[in-house]
Structure 1
């Protein structure tokens, strides 16, 4: 029998080998590449996203529908929609890890959006994000989300959990080892799912602050108005000049004249967690009316925080 002193190096070697197999994701040791620009297979999918078209998306809502409960919109700011991974060909996945499914109302309700896709079961466990951020003392992050990441017609946490479940789980850089994927967090964290959730929430904010849509438009004289409409070309050109690429603008209404959202496309240098984003022109053409004025409406009375 080996003496304990002789056995310790052997155990250490085995431990190192086991850790190497699952925890070898120190991305600082990996030369970063821009997503969707690699000519060879990605060496470590924890360090570069497989779905590498990164979309930073925002809403322009005029009310929340929950003003009576104190839910109002931030003054002079668009609100957060999310951070999305598209494949390099413009297609995308959704609800890619059902073990991290916390969406009470999955939309769509299958992983493919078609009836023959894998069903996405509704989450019935309530709010997990708010207590998670409180557990780790992320009070400033929670306060920022409560102000700028607003839901319409439902509590904010439902929207947050929808975005995490539908989109974050399709970024390979947030994988936690489920369904045969690498564990990007390893044994450094007690709970890798919690780690991936906090990591994603922080990444959303880090990307969003790079795109001050309200400020960019206001600097060009484009402000919310119930009396003056704008040409779609003026809106799009203003945001393209400011951001570095042509974004997607979304409009609602029967004639698609009510401005409601913007999507900024980018390639990510390394992990989207670092938010080093190269602006790329939209791959989805704006649905806004090209011949009629676009209405960038003022917020409803009592719906904005001053």
Structure 2
């Protein structure tokens, strides 16, 4: 009875609950990020709705890894994971928001603001933390999935994972999602005493969130079903690709291209608002905040994978 009474008092007094790191989001109102009223913003639990609430699910189309001789190849019939990013509602974004969880071996930019007067981001020199962590908690299926679909180019995959873990990218991106906070820098602790190690919990939680979000956006299949497949001889126009992905996803995504004339298709970003935590992957599609970088008047090249670069 005493335990039950204590629990009821926590539920009845959200401020006290937050003080004790009790953030059971299931009992709090669910809000779409970037759609909160000013009055709601003053009282809502940042562990249950992200402060940086414009959520981007981002993917790459690479044609090689550069490490094929080491067995690193790209997944057949699939784009690869870039990350899960938190942007401010106006399209701007923060980065390296918690240097206590900085695991990026090559921080880019090398300061928190990207400017010379920003706080220096110290390079991580401790190696791969993701693989040992997922093995420690027997997340073997999750590790196998990211080894296949979350690929780096020119460097071991874990270096990319840990860069992403900083913005989605854990160190650069994920630490800017308030729903993964662990109490550093006067933030809420969204994990608290429920977990033996809240930092480890946040890393696993975020890695699972990245995968859960990516599965909702099967870019290769959407394009293929519309007759748009990788080709070294046939180009496609921006409008056609964007129209297919807009119809399939529910909003206009950003398409990224590189090259002197911006004709080589390489990435896609899907924008959304999150209902509650991004961990739950309940997204409302919204249009890109800017405009695609691809050439709008010349054919775009959605190149085939290099021989030996695809499993």
**Bucket of the pairwise TM-score, normalised by the shorter protein:** over 0.9
* 1:263 counterpart residue number: 269
Separation (CA, whole Å) in 2 of partners of 1:113 and 1:273: 28
Of the three residues 188, 193, 213, the one matched with 1:187 is: 193
Which segments of 5 or more consecutive residues in structure 2 lack a partner in the other structure?
A: 11-15, 165-169
Report the alpha carbon displacement of residue 20 of structure 1 after superposing the two structures with TM: 5.5
Classify the secondary structure of the residue corresponding to 1:165. Answer: coil
Conserved 8 A contact 1:269-1:277? yes
Contact 1:59 1:81 in 2 (8 A): yes
Aligned position for 1:4: none
**How far 1:21 moved relative to its partner?**
1.4
The answer to whether 1:61 aligns with 2:59 is no
Name the residue aligned to 1:27.
25
Q: Which residue matches 1:3?
A: none
Q: Is the 8 A contact 2:17 2:23 kept in 1?
A: no
CA contact (8 A) 2:52 2:89 kept: yes
Secondary structure at the residue paired with 1:261? Answer: strand
- Aligned partner of 1:165 among 171, 184, 188: 171
Q: Within 5 Å, which residues of 2 pair with 1:27-176? A: 27-40=25-38, 41=41, 43-163=44-164, 164-176=170-182
Does residue 1:208 correspond to 2:209, yes or no?
no
Q: Using the alignment, how far apart are the partners of 1:20 and 1:192 within structure 2?
A: 15
Please, which of 271, 289, 292 is the counterpart of residue 286 of structure 1?
A: 292
* Cα drift, residue 19 of structure 1: 6.7
- SS in structure 2 opposite 1:206? helix
1:275 aligns with 2:276: no
SS state at 1:134 partner = helix
Give the root-mean-square deviation of aligned CA atoms: 1.5
1:113 to partner: Cα distance: 1.0
2:256 alignment counterpart:
250
Is the partner of 2:115 in helix, strand or coil? coil
Aligned length: 294
CA distance in 1, matches of 2:18, 2:91: 34
Q: 2:182 and 2:106 mapped to 1: Cα distance?
A: 23
State the Cα distance separating 1:23 from its structure 2 match. 1.8
Query: How big is each residue's C-alpha offset from its partner over 1:200-257, in whole Å with a ceiling of 9 and x where there is no partner?
Result: 0000000000000000000000000000000000000010000000000000000000
1:262 partner SS: strand
Name the TM-score, length of structure 1 as normaliser: 0.94
Please state how far the C-alpha of 1:31 moved relative to its aligned partner.
1.1
User: In 1, are the aligned partners of 2:18 and 2:188 still within 8 Å (CA)?
Assistant: no
What SS does the corresponding residue of 2:128 show, helix, strand or coil? coil
Q: For the Cα contact (< 8 Å) 1:22–1:182, is it kept in 2?
A: no
Aligned to 2:13: none
User: How far apart are residue 89 of structure 1 and its match?
Assistant: 1.0
Whole-angstrom CA distance in 1 between matches of 2:125 and 2:78: 32
Encode CA deviations 1:178-199: one digit per residue, 9 max, x unaligned: 0100000010001000000000
